[in-house]
Structure 1
Amino acid sequence: MKSLVLGLFLLVSASVFSQKTPVKITVNAPLSNRSCEKDEELRTVTLARADGSSPIIFNVLGCKIERELNLEPGNYVIDVTALDSPIQSQKFAVKAGETTIALPDLKLETKTQQLAEVTITAKQKKFIKIDPDKTTVNVKDNGMLNSGNAMDAVRRIPGVVKSPGGGLTLNGRGVQIYIDGAPSTLTGQDLENYLNSLPAGAIEKIELIYNPGAAFDANASGSIINIVTASRKMKGVNASFNINYNFNEYQKPSPQILLNGKVKEVSWQTMFGVNYIESENQNNSTQTFTTLTPPVTLDQKNFTQTINRNLYWRTGLNYRINDKSNLLFNYNMSASKDDNNTTNTATGNGIDFLNNGFTKEKTNFHEASTQYKLKLDTIGSTVDVIAYGNYFGRTPMNKSVSQEDGARTFNNSDLNFDLYNYYLKYDFNLPITKLKLNFATGGKFNHLKVTNFGRYNFESTNEDIFDNGTFTDAIDFDYLETNLAFYAQVTKSIKKFSFTAGIRFEDFNVTRNASTVANEIKFTNTNLFPSISLNYRFTDQLNLNSSYNRKVNQPGYTNIDPNNNSLFNRYNASEGNLLLAPVFFDNYSATFSAFNYIQLGVNYSVSKDANQFVIAAEPGELVANRTFVQIDRFKTFSSYLNFPIPLDYIFKGKNEFNTRMANPDKMNYIYANIAYQKTTTDGFSTGFKNDGVFTYGGQAQIQLPYDIVSTLNYFYVPTGIWEIYKVTEPIQQFDISLNRDFMNKRFSTRQKT
């Protein structure tokens, strides 16, 4: 019995003393060529029993290694290595009850190797990249463009001008706005408001596509500005917070939160933010009503103060099904509330008129798309299928009070606007490498519906009409468009030449209804739209490109909707033109580009039934009506030159210039744009000689002390003739921003004026 008890005691004792206990191991492993205090290199540590069993492997940053491990008593070996140094080893023993072990230093010897020649190549960041078919402008890393909103970024791009008639032009030609490769269905002020609500910090790059081929929609006026929003794929969960605060007399705070990450086969990104924008706008115009006897001249002034509150959410999901296929889902929404206080005056010929108005407008925008991308083989054959839909709603309410000759009258309006757009699209790409040829084809079906119901009260003497919601007039507008399209395109390279030829089939069916016309208005257009381009590459840095395409432009809803604006009083009205027909364009262009920054180009465009904004009056009436007219033929010639002025080369010399070339963030430069445009018309007389007009623009980056970067943007249109408009006073725009980055660009401050 005693022997049994003694055996059990010895067995339990052995079990207790063989259990793992926490032991703190410390050792320094300095590199031979640096001190421990400045050493942040990665060490790989392996700790195992002397017989090589039960290894523990971990990594440590820096010279000092300290780790608490659960170890059994016994003999151990620790191995340490860093960089390309040989492994250094140390044997030691762990005794029962021991909790701390300090080992002698393990000195790591770094290997050295004599190299015959070393060439270090830095990847140069490029803010502008010029290709034969498009120009890509980097926004994310460009302090000149990544502050403010998308509209600010677009208008600072060389060659982009907001024309006197409204809308944007690129090197003298009209443009269609795309967001992430999808054409925007918004037009006019709605599009401008949407771009004002999209922060520039959410944009990765902007693509300027001068002559889009058959793969792009034919429903464009000739050029495309494609805004590509940022997309990041990083493992784990990552977050960033940005706030853009601009102020002068008015304030523009725009905080933004960005979350993104990657878990196994799913990468995702979501962006949430708000914009609060205070602004003002002043317009002065002089109109002479020549059909009155005697003619009456009115000097009109319009001053508007606006507060825009916008909330947006943008999210995306990318599921990697396998090595060859991906499924992408995107959802974007924005909601805004705008307040406008407007003062209008009209004076002249015994007229002294004052109108004060207040407009409250709510908008909401929802957009969703699903895309399936499939790689068919290793040579680049792909299939893309996209299902897309968006909704835009707007509900402006306007109230105004007019005073003239001591009498007061009241106007009010209430509009309800809805836009629904859906499409299904596929694209197939087949490269044939042996023939240096690429074949692409695809198709699209699009459905667009717009409704706008407006209720009005004109020139009432009853002040209570504001409160009781009485309306004496109503205008109901309905628009329906369906479009079926197919295209085929071939690209072929022959030595220094490359050709692209394509054909696109489009079938448009448009129906317009309004309570202001008796009969339904229909347009059915079935047409072929060819495109061809030829590029000759003199060298890798010198290219000559020429192209032709045919396009069509269906009038935007703001051009035809009788409810298109709530601006109305005794001397002003605004309405669309329901009879506007589709506009067909023949576009020709030639561009020479050099060294990725220099561009010299010419464009010639002929459009049939061109739509233009005018202010007109019916004979014998003293009312200026803002509307649109159709011109039989509209011919536009434009030329442009974009070139950099390297200030570092001029003031600091060639060596300093070459040093800074690898990092444009540290360069001083001016990027200049000079353009000329002349338009002639058939079937429409402007009443003045058209000599065309030059425009001048420049963007500059100047390095200031204390790592402050100043970015400047200047645009100037002198007096002259722009399309059918006479510019009697120069048009100028000047922006300046001061930027300072901190914490390795993880924090920055910016002051803009």
Structure 2
Amino acid sequence: MKLRLKNTLSLYILLFISSYTIAQDNLIKITGTLIEDTTSQPIPYATVVINDTSSHKIIAGTTSDESGKFSMATSKTNFYIEISFMGFETKTIKEFKTINGKIDLGKIILITDSQSLDEVVVTGEISKTTFKLDKRVFNVGADISSTGASALEVLNNVPSVNVSMEGEISLRGSSGVQILINGKPSVLADESSNALGTITADMIESIEIITNPSAKYEASGTAGILNIILKKEEKKGWNGSVSVNTGTPDNHSIGLSLNRRTENFNLFAQLGAGYRSLPKDAEAINRNLTNNEVIFSEGTEYRNETFYNITLGTDYHINDLNVLTLSGNFAYEIEKQPSKTNFNYFDANNSLISSWERNEITDATNPKYSYELNYKKQFKDHEDHTLLLSVLGRFFGKDLSSHFTNTTIAGADSDSDQKTATDFIQADYTYKVDYTNPISDTYTLETGAQYVINDVGNDYEVSELTNNGYEVNNDLTNNFEYNQKVFGAYATGAFEKEKWGIKVGVRVEQTNLKTLLTNTNESNEQNFTNFFPTLHTSYKVGENFSLQAGYSKRIFRPRLWDLNPFFNIRNNFNIRVGNPNLQPEFTDSYELTSIYKIGKATLSSSLYHKFTTDMVERVFTYVNNVTITTPQNIGTNSAIGFETNGKYRASNWLTITGDFNLNYFDRVGTFETQVFDFSGNQWSSRLGSKIGLPADIDVELTGNYQSGFKTVQGTTTGYAFLDLGVRKKIFKGKAIVNLGVRDLFASRISEQFVTQATFETYSFGQRGRFITLGISYGFGKGEAMTYSGGRRR
């Protein structure tokens, strides 16, 4: 296989990188050391704030270091000092002496709170959410920042966001959320590890929630974006967590996460290894309505995997205005897929024609690595005046071989022994620049560009057993090459006052896509340029009610497996084939959102309309009792929906969350001679509760329901399932024991019916119940978090 991997040498010439200091002779420096009353030991990581005497608002703040010492400064003269830490009584200091611009408080003794070690004293503002045109901003107040919680627990306090005990993040009930740190990708934001556990609540300034992205972001987006904004005065020292996990079906792993902050560097590392399996029960029925022949198949598919993972990275703070980030990840996976499927072939009289068992032995190795270089510059005139440059590279390889053998149980042979060999290589490169300039208190301009290269090769060979041994089947063998380049540029302008604002933008993306099937020399090339306008506005009606409206145009580009015309021979009677002529689909998205508070409840509701053209649908055809599934562009889809989600804190020990989404859709389209015009509806809901029990035990119950819905050729059935999690904190939260049960009643299924004039098909899939048990320990300022071992692909 010949694969052209294009790598571009990127050289950024960084101009105007300089540091500056401003002499401020009127600053008063405040120092002291915090000591426990019972043990006389130092108290690290306690919160120390300076409050204005008149307004009681926070002027400045810091935290004590590992030795209990703290230092901060202020130019104010009318203030008092407040010190708080979980498990201790809050101490207020109003009397002190200033000598030569310094206040030395000496040793300060904090008294243990005998009433409740778990009580959190709120010393500042309460966390709240506000609208900012194209996003919502969750400002982290002292009620959370003083608790010592991790970033994941902070995210779990954000409206519309839910974090399971296993660390899976969802937005409005949908996974696939992109996590950013200070507006840029980061290894610390990798959801596949526990790196977010090394960021504590008091390091976070705010979290931005973006559900309908502006032109600044790629037109082919995700379920949403969460941007974690860190405070400039990040804690220094070691953070870390180590965890050991086991489960059934096999899910065993060990992970270590480290993070070290100094004055100029932030070093982070992630190490992990493990073994897991993912069995799936599958069943299929192919019914030929012309001759009434039927083929049944059922079996269990396995994907057993041993994996190793290492991540290294650093943030280098050149000075207060310039940060350079370099990170890399390497993973290696070893796969085994011992699967077995039973087939039964019946004639029109329901008499057995043939019965056989098909066994699969598959071995694969998957090396993959990624690297990222980011440079961020802040300008002196405004903290939001920034320039961000980034380079990202990813590589994934798969060397796979399979051996399929068939054993006849009854009747005639109906299948053949086969071997396959796959050599797959994928390389992705992203080059990006973003510039933001708040030219005044009310006007902000943004502009930037991005260039993405996706280069893929899939060399696939099929051999079949003959009298002379195994011979290559050229009809099934192919070498497919896929190369896509997307260049995008954008500009946005925003006008924002205290209660009202508007933001307009446009993004242009030029796509060049080439595919080649080398054994037949079939090629396909697509070149197209598209404009993606966006419009957002928000209005603050009152303190507890705000409105936001938005419009964006989005694109779905066909992926490799949508385009590759290969045959998957795991089941020769149910195969999937790609379509190299598949076109992208485009969606116009309109959304009106409100966020409001009613007592202890926070609710967010949306009305939306999405209109999609060239809708990509899976179309089923039937040839010689074989079901062939192929993606096709079929007409339009118009969807109108309502979505609401909320979070209710009934008490300190009970929190209830819920999501509900209902949409009505109208399909219009024709494929070949068949008309696909129909209407339907689909709805989903989720209800979760987090219950705090005595002895630092938390219980989480989450129920989900997905309704059935119509498809272009049949129906998909609905299902309900329940997840259970139990967590026990020990050693004052530094160690955590987790017990998780996914799909408690083994009721989550995938079931689809296809009904056409000449054939009917039925498919069923089920993963079953998963049980996991883990223990993790956090040290330094990190909190114990579960290591998941990474996402599969």
TM-score by length of 2: 0.68
Q: Is the 8 A contact 1:158 1:672 kept in 2?
A: no
Match of residue 333 from structure 1: 330
Amino acid at match of 2:224: I
Amino acid at match of 1:362: T
Match of residue 657 from structure 2: 671
Amino acid at match of 2:241: S
In 1, the alpha carbon distance for the partners of 2:369 and 2:512 equals: 25
After the TM superposition, which residues 245-394 of structure 1 pair with which residues of structure 2 at under 5 Å, given as runs? 245-248=245-248, 250-290=249-289, 293-347=290-344, 349=346, 350=352, 352-379=355-382, 380-394=384-398
After the TM superposition, which residues 491-502 of structure 1 pair with which residues of structure 2 at under 5 Å, given as runs? 491-502=494-505
- Give the unaligned 5+ runs of structure 1: 1-33, 43-58, 63-81, 88-107, 112-118, 161-167, 169-174, 185-193, 649-656, 661-666
Where 2:561 maps in the other structure, the secondary structure is helix
Q: CA deviation at 1:348?
A: 5.2
1:598-646 Cα offsets, whole Å, 9 max, x none, are 111122211221212344324xx21112331211222223321212344
Q: CA deviation at 1:517?
A: 5.3
Report sequence identity in percent: 17
Match of residue 713 from structure 1: 702
With over 3 angstroms needed to count, the CA separation of the structure-2 counterparts of 1:626 and 1:585, relative to structure 1, is same
With over 3 angstroms needed to count, the CA separation of the structure-2 counterparts of 1:359 and 1:732, relative to structure 1, is farther
Amino acid at match of 2:559: G
Match of residue 440 from structure 1: 446
In 2, the alpha carbon distance for the partners of 1:513 and 1:691 equals: 38
1:119-146 Cα offsets, whole Å, 9 max, x none, are 96356578x9987645689625679836
Amino acid at match of 1:574: R
Match of residue 457 from structure 1: 463
Q: Is the 8 A contact 1:147 1:201 kept in 2?
A: no
After the TM superposition, which residues 36-435 of structure 1 pair with which residues of structure 2 at under 5 Å, given as runs? 39-40=40-41, 121-122=123-124, 133-134=134-135, 139-140=152-153, 145=163, 147-148=165-166, 153-154=168-169, 158-160=172-174, 198=193, 209-220=210-221, 223-225=223-225, 234-243=235-244, 245-248=245-248, 250-290=249-289, 293-347=290-344, 349=346, 350=352, 352-379=355-382, 380-404=384-408, 405=411, 407=413, 409-434=416-441
After the TM superposition, which residues 692-707 of structure 1 pair with which residues of structure 2 at under 5 Å, given as runs? 692-707=681-696
The answer to whether 1:588 aligns with 2:590 is yes
Out of 727, 731, 736, the residue aligned to residue 748 of structure 1 is 736
Q: Output the aligned Cα RMSD.
A: 4.0
Q: Is the 8 A contact 1:158 1:697 kept in 2?
A: no
Q: Which has the higher helix share?
A: 1
Q: Is the 8 A contact 1:553 1:584 kept in 2?
A: yes
The answer to whether 1:681 aligns with 2:667 is yes
Q: CA deviation at 1:345?
A: 3.3
With over 3 angstroms needed to count, the CA separation of the structure-2 counterparts of 1:318 and 1:146, relative to structure 1, is farther
Q: Is the 8 A contact 1:413 1:566 kept in 2?
A: no
Match of residue 559 from structure 1: 562
With over 3 angstroms needed to count, the CA separation of the structure-2 counterparts of 1:643 and 1:457, relative to structure 1, is same
Amino acid at match of 1:749: V
Match of residue 13 from structure 2: none
Where 1:139 maps in the other structure, the secondary structure is helix
Q: CA deviation at 1:406?
A: 5.3
Out of 710, 719, 722, the residue aligned to residue 731 of structure 1 is 719
Match of residue 27 from structure 1: none
Match of residue 600 from structure 1: 605
Q: CA deviation at 1:497?
A: 1.6
TM-score by length of 1: 0.71
Q: CA deviation at 1:749?
A: 0.3
Q: Is the 8 A contact 1:598 1:643 kept in 2?
A: yes
In 2, the alpha carbon distance for the partners of 1:627 and 1:359 equals: 25
Out of 513, 523, 527, the residue aligned to residue 524 of structure 1 is 527
Match of residue 768 from structure 2: none
1:182-224 Cα offsets, whole Å, 9 max, x none, are 899xxxxxxxxx999645866979976321111111234x743
In 2, the alpha carbon distance for the partners of 1:562 and 1:429 equals: 44
Q: Is the 8 A contact 1:158 1:673 kept in 2?
A: yes
- Give the unaligned 5+ runs of structure 2: 1-34, 44-65, 70-91, 98-106, 111-120, 139-150, 157-161, 347-351, 742-793
Q: CA deviation at 1:262?
A: 2.9
Where 1:558 maps in the other structure, the secondary structure is helix
Amino acid at match of 1:393: G
Where 2:123 maps in the other structure, the secondary structure is coil
Amino acid at match of 1:341: P
Q: CA deviation at 1:378?
A: 3.0
Match of residue 616 from structure 1: 621
The answer to whether 1:636 aligns with 2:639 is yes
Q: Is the 8 A contact 2:134 2:503 kept in 1?
A: no
Q: Is the 8 A contact 1:270 1:315 kept in 2?
A: yes
Amino acid at match of 2:680: D
Where 1:433 maps in the other structure, the secondary structure is coil
In 2, the alpha carbon distance for the partners of 1:543 and 1:551 equals: 25
Q: CA deviation at 1:722?
A: 6.1
Q: Is the 8 A contact 1:410 1:463 kept in 2?
A: no
Q: Is the 8 A contact 1:86 1:109 kept in 2?
A: no
1:553-582 Cα offsets, whole Å, 9 max, x none, are 22111211234x744443132221111012
With over 3 angstroms needed to count, the CA separation of the structure-2 counterparts of 1:385 and 1:689, relative to structure 1, is closer
Equivalent residue pairs, number: 600
In 2, the alpha carbon distance for the partners of 1:470 and 1:342 equals: 23
With over 3 angstroms needed to count, the CA separation of the structure-2 counterparts of 1:477 and 1:601, relative to structure 1, is same
With over 3 angstroms needed to count, the CA separation of the structure-2 counterparts of 1:689 and 1:326, relative to structure 1, is closer
Amino acid at match of 2:247: F
1:4-24 Cα offsets, whole Å, 9 max, x none, are xxxxxxxxxxxxxxxxxxxxx
In 2, the alpha carbon distance for the partners of 1:370 and 1:457 equals: 44
In 2, the alpha carbon distance for the partners of 1:35 and 1:750 equals: 31
Q: Is the 8 A contact 2:457 2:481 kept in 1?
A: yes
Amino acid at match of 1:541: N
With over 3 angstroms needed to count, the CA separation of the structure-2 counterparts of 1:60 and 1:705, relative to structure 1, is closer
In 2, the alpha carbon distance for the partners of 1:567 and 1:741 equals: 49
Amino acid at match of 1:674: F
Q: Is the 8 A contact 1:202 1:229 kept in 2?
A: no
With over 3 angstroms needed to count, the CA separation of the structure-2 counterparts of 1:630 and 1:264, relative to structure 1, is same
1:73-130 Cα offsets, whole Å, 9 max, x none, are xxxxxxxxx999999xxxxxxxxxxxxxxxxxxxx9999xxxxxxx96356578x998
In 1, the alpha carbon distance for the partners of 2:297 and 2:132 equals: 46
With over 3 angstroms needed to count, the CA separation of the structure-2 counterparts of 1:681 and 1:704, relative to structure 1, is same
Where 1:577 maps in the other structure, the secondary structure is coil
With over 3 angstroms needed to count, the CA separation of the structure-2 counterparts of 1:125 and 1:537, relative to structure 1, is closer
Larger Rg: 1
Q: Is the 8 A contact 1:439 1:488 kept in 2?
A: yes
Where 1:580 maps in the other structure, the secondary structure is coil
Q: CA deviation at 1:706?
A: 2.6
Q: CA deviation at 1:542?
A: 1.6
In 2, the alpha carbon distance for the partners of 1:109 and 1:413 equals: 72
Where 2:565 maps in the other structure, the secondary structure is coil
